[in-house]
Structure formats: C-alpha cells, structure tokens
Amino acid sequence: MTIELLGGKILSPYFGGSVYVWGSIITVFMLALSVGYLFGGKLSLNNPNTRKYGIIFMLAAISVVPLTMGHEAVSEWVFDVTDDPRYGSLLASTILFLIPSIILGMVAPYSVRLLVRTAHSSGQTAGFLYFVSTLGSAGGTLATSFYLVLWFKIDHILYGSALILFTLGLIAFFFPQPPLSAAVNSNEHIE
Amino acid sequence: MKSFIAKTILATLTASALFIAAPEQANAKIIEQERSLYQNVYMVEEYGMHCMRFRKKNKNDLSQSCIFLDAPEIFVFDYYKQAMGATFFLDDPKEILIIGLGGGVLANTFGEVYPDAHITSVEIDPVVVKMAKKYFDYDDSKPNFETHVRDGRVFVKRALKDDKRYDFILLDAFNSDYIPEHMMTKEYLEEVKALAKDDGIIMANTFSTSDLFHHESATYAEVFGPMYQINFKNKKTNRVIIVSKKPLPEKRQLLQKANKLKGELLIYGVDTLALFDAISDEVNWDTEAEVLTDQYSPANLLK
C-alpha cells in the first residue's frame, strides 16, 4: 500500500492527479496481485520452506530498486510516446509497478502454506493471515499518507520499504523454520 | 462617474457584509449544483452575487469565484484586485496562459484589458468550465479565447514539448480545500519558467498564511530568485506572487504604470495606487523552509 500510494505522487507530475491515474495504479496493482497469488500458490507446492519464503521477500525488495531509480525516466519516456494521460498512466504504472506487486502478491499464498497445520484449521489460518495482511495494509496506508510523505522524500520511503522487505527476507532465510509450524509472521508489508 | 462610485461603495459594503455574515448563510440560495469527477460544484446566489463554491457550507471564503449581479465588472474579492497588479509589469502581452480558470473572472478581465491578447485557459474540471460560461460570462467561442480541460501540469509539460511560449502565465489552480501537490513543486515552477518567453511574467495566486506560505515562498525564490508579493495590508488571505525569467523592474519604476492604468482599472473597483502600495519585495518568509519538490510536496499536510 505504501508503494501504491506513492505511485500517485510518482505519476502526477506527468499524468496529473486525476481519478484515471489512480484507476491505472489500482488496476495494475490488482492485476499484479492476482497473478502473484497464482504464482505464489503454485510455488508453495514444491517443497515449501522459509528459506524460499525469505527469497521472495528479498526479490521483492530488489525489484523496488529499479522502480525507485527509474520512475522519472520511465514516466518521461511514456509522456513522449502517448499524449493521452489515461493510457499514459496505465502504461507507466504497468512498467513501474507490475513486477514488484506480482512478487509481493506471492507472499500471501506462500504464507498460508507455511502456516497451515491441518485442513481442519486452514480456514482459521487463512483468516488470520488476511487479518494480519489487511491490517498491515491499513497501517501502511495511514503511515504513508499522514506522516511518511511529511517526513521523507518519496525515493527514501521506497528505499526504506525495500530495506525492510530485505531484512525480513534475511531473517526468514537465516533462521529457517520447518513448515507446518508457526513460521515468521512477517507479512505486514505485503500489498 | 458618481453612480459608478456609489456602485463601488455599495459593492464594497456588500462584500464586507458578506464576510461578517458568512457563517449565517441566511441569504444563500443554491441555484444549481452538479457533481463532477472532482468535486461538487455549487452555484449560489447570495447578497446580490453569484458565487461558485465547492462545498455546501463554506468555512472560509477564499478562492471562490463570485460576481455582483448588478455590477459584474466590479471585483468581489481582493485577490482579483491583487492579480491586476500584474498589469504593472506587462507591456501588451500577446499570449496569455491561465492555469485554473475557475469562474473565468480573471480570464475575462485580462481579455478586456488586453483585447489583442490570445488567452488560453486550462481547467481540470469540465463542470467548472460549464458554470463559468453559464454564470460568469466566460465565452470561449470568441476567437481570442481557448479552453483546455486538462490537468495544469500535464498541459504545461505538453505545451513545452510543442514549443509554445507565453508572455504572461497566471497560476491559479488552487481552491481553499485542496491543493494539487504536483503543482506546487520546484520542478513544476521550472517547467512554467521555461514556458514563459524571455521577458515573460508569471503570476501566482497563493496562500499567505500557514506553514505552506514559507515552503511555497522558498520554492518560488529557489526557481526565480527575487520576487514581488502583492498583499493588501491587514488582509490575511491570499497573496499574489509576481516573478519573471529576467530581473524584475524596481518598484518605483512601476508607479508610472500604476498612474497610467488608474482610470482603466477603476471600472473593476481597483485603486491602482493602493495596489502599488501593496506591492512588496520584502523577504518575509522563512528562507530556511524546505523547498517543495516532486520528491517532497506534502502541501495539503502543511496547510
């Protein structure tokens, strides 16, 4: 959500702050998450463990870096190739946000796989995960829109998010837990 | 002339009455409202005026377009008068760009003062344009007027690419409730600066209160260097900023223009000598305030 909110600020100098800019950003995030859920689920079939889980986090962190470094150049280029701000913002959002959001989307189903003990309790586990991740989204939204933009530059917030993701990934990677037990509950920053 | 002065006095009294009685809203009558993509646009008739506003109940009277029904030429708001200070800096501009049409009061007035000028207005909200035409006599079917329904920053960027240049650029894209944060930044002002001709004048109608005042002033100073502010004393509402690509004239050099335009601007209720007095090049902001950039522009949080 932090990245999604900053997306508006990243694109507005080129495509305006209009509702279609938000429409583009939300569309791309939703599409990417849906693909990410599918991939994450698929990946969890194959010998799931928290090491791989940590790698997803680290990949997500790494994917935020080119986004942060390249958003100006990308927006500039898209502004040159299309003068319709609707499709311009859609194209720019796709280039910038699709990959990071797909990877972040993979976290949720993988978490379910790591945390579920029995089929009997799977609903409860999934419910708890939704609870944590959605609460995290709410927290990220509020923190970003109320405070972070007042305290930091956009790029610094993005690098900060990447750093947190990477650290979480490292923790999951170096302190592996066997699946089917309470693994690291570190998915506050997804979505 | 007598009836004109009487009209002016009446208008001024009505305007003061409006500010005193504003919380009551007793005489306000909504004559038309329409929800747009961005806001609710209300046309209100009150105290012998038509006003456009974006809330049903307004907390303050900043930045809404109003005109007197029986004296539409007389300015309701001080900021319209302050904006006419730009005429002291202008010599027969041919290309005028207005970012933020609103009711079109300033577009119409500059169109009257400079009949040879081509006036391009940019307004993001099509409903606002519609109301401007219906209630404020804004008429862009005239050959020297054109309107673009577009985000101001996007327009500026595109116009730069298309090699358009303007003699006079008027920035007025804010209302008192919400500030488009991407149109307050150093990068935006640099684009606007590039869009002005070499001797072009840029005028902005902006805030004179709150933290934002300091950040905004610092941002203008960073991009343009020295600037003039026009603000009637003891009126803590809006101020007008005048900047240019090349150094601005000294204040005393403006007096001649102020005298010359005295008669012409009196029609609008503008006292050009009072306006001259309201011009200042004083650095009255915190020069340490952080410059707003595309990376850092929490304008609505600083308000």
Q: Read off the pLDDT of each residue in A55-74 and give the average, rounded to a whole number.
A: 96
CB pair distance less than 8 Å for A18 and B301? no
pLDDT of residue A170: 95
% residues pLDDT > 90 (chain B): 62
Name which of A25, A9, A28 is nearest A17 in CA terms.
A9
Judged by DSSP in three states, B151 sits in coil
Task: Write the residue in A14, A80, A153 that is nearest to B296 by C-beta.
Answer: A153
Taking residues B280-302, report their average pLDDT: 90
Residues 6+ positions from A158 with CB-CB distance below 8 Å: A3, A6, A64, A67, A68
Q: Is A83 on the interface with B (CB under 8 A)?
A: yes
Nearest chain A CA: its distance from B187 CA (Å): 9
**pLDDT(B18) > 80:** no
Nearest chain B alpha carbon to A85 = B154
The answer to whether residue B20 neighbours chain A at the CB level (below 8 Å) is no
Contacts of B126 in chain A (CB under 8 A): none
Residue A186: its pLDDT value, please?
Answer: 45
Q: pLDDT tier at B79 (50, 70, 90 boundaries)?
A: confident
Task: Please state the rounded mean pLDDT for residues B270-299.
Answer: 91
Q: Cα separations (Å) of B73 from B14, B30, B266, B270?
A: 15, 22, 10, 11
Tokens of B6: 């009487």
Contact A12 B185 (CB under 8 A): no
Q: Does residue B238 sit in helix, strand or coil?
A: strand
- Give the pLDDT of residue A176: 78
String of b and e for A75-88 (b: at least 16 CB within 10 Å)?
Answer: beebbeeeeebbeb
Task: Read off the pLDDT of each residue in B38-55 and give the average, rounded to a whole number.
Answer: 86
Confidence band of B3 (pLDDT split at 50, 70, 90): low
Residue A179 has a pLDDT of 60
CB pair distance less than 8 Å for A155 and B187: no
Average pLDDT over residues B78-85: 90
Answer yes or no: are the C-beta atoms of A21 and A85 closer than 8 Å: yes
CA distance A141 to A128: 20
Tell me if A17 and B181 make a contact (CB, 8 A cut-off): yes
In the predicted structure, residue A181 carries a pLDDT above the cut 60: no
Answer yes or no: do A154 and B296 touch at CB < 8 A.
Answer: yes
B293 inside 8 A of chain A by CB? yes
The reply to whether residue B294 touches residue A13, judged by beta carbons under 8 angstroms, is: yes
The string of pLDDT tens digits covering residues B100-159 is 998 999 999 999 999 999 999 999 999 999 999 999 999 999 999 999 999 999 999 999
| Residue B188 pLDDT greater than 70, yes or no | yes
In our burial notation (b when 16+ CB lie closer than 10 A, e otherwise), range B241-276 reads bbbbbeebeeeeebeebbeebeeebbbbbbebeebb
| Fold classification of B78-300 (topology level) | Rossmann fold (3.40.50)
Measure the CA–CA gap between A157 and A2, rounded to whole angstroms: 8
Interface list for B 158-197 with A (CB within 8 A): 158, 161, 180-182, 185, 187-188
Q: Is B139 helix (H, G, I), strand (E, B) or coil?
A: coil
Residues of A in Cβ contact (< 8 Å) with B149: none
Half-sphere exposure of A77 (CA within 13 A, CB side): 10
Whole-number pLDDT of residue B6: 58
pLDDT of B13 higher than 60: no
Domain with CATH 3.40.50.150 in chain B: 78-300
Q: How many other C-beta atoms lie within 10 A of the C-beta of residue A183?
A: 21
pLDDT confidence tier of residue B14, bands split at 50, 70 and 90: low
**Mean pLDDT to the nearest integer, B11-27:** 52
B162 is catalytic: no
In the chain, the amino acid numbered B189 is: L
To the nearest whole Å, the CA of B301 is away from the closest chain A CA by 7
Q: Find, among A13, A17, A25, A20, the residue nearest to A75 by Cα.
A: A13
Cβ pairs A/B, distance under 8 A: 56
Which pLDDT band, with edges at 50, 70 and 90, does A184 fall under? very low
The helix/strand/coil state of B279 is strand
pLDDT (0 to 100) of residue A180: 55
pLDDT at residue A140 tops 90:
yes
DSSP B51-103: EEESSSS-S--TT-EEEESS-TTSBSSHHHHHHGGGGGG-SS-SEEEEE--TT
Which tens digits make up the pLDDT trace of A20-54?
899 999 999 999 999 999 999 999 998 889 999 99
| Token reading at A89 | 């913002």
Range from B14-18, B167-171, B217-221 carrying the lowest mean pLDDT: B14-18
Selecting among B70, B172, B199, B281, the annotated active-site residue is B172
Segment among A12-26, A118-132, B12-26, B275-289 with least mean pLDDT? B12-26
Q: Look at A13-17, A33-37, A120-124, B176-180 and tell me which has the smallest mean pLDDT.
A: B176-180
Residues above pLDDT 70, as percent of chain B:
87
Asked if B157 has any chain A CB less than 8 Å from its own CB, the reply is yes
**B12 pLDDT higher than 70:** no
* Nearest-by-CA chain B residue for A154: B295
Q: What is the C-alpha to C-alpha distance for residues A124 and A130, in angstroms, rounded to an integer? A: 10
pLDDT of residue B232: 87
* pLDDT at A74 exceeding the cut of 60: yes
- The residue of A5, A6, A9 whose CB has the most chain B CBs within 10 angstroms, and thus the best one to mutate to test that interface, is A9
Q: In the prediction, which pLDDT does B22 show?
A: 47
ipTM given for this complex: 0.81
What's the pLDDT at B210? Answer: 77
Mutate which of A5, A11, A14 to test chain B, going by most B C-beta atoms within 10 A?
Answer: A14
Mean pLDDT of B42-69: 78
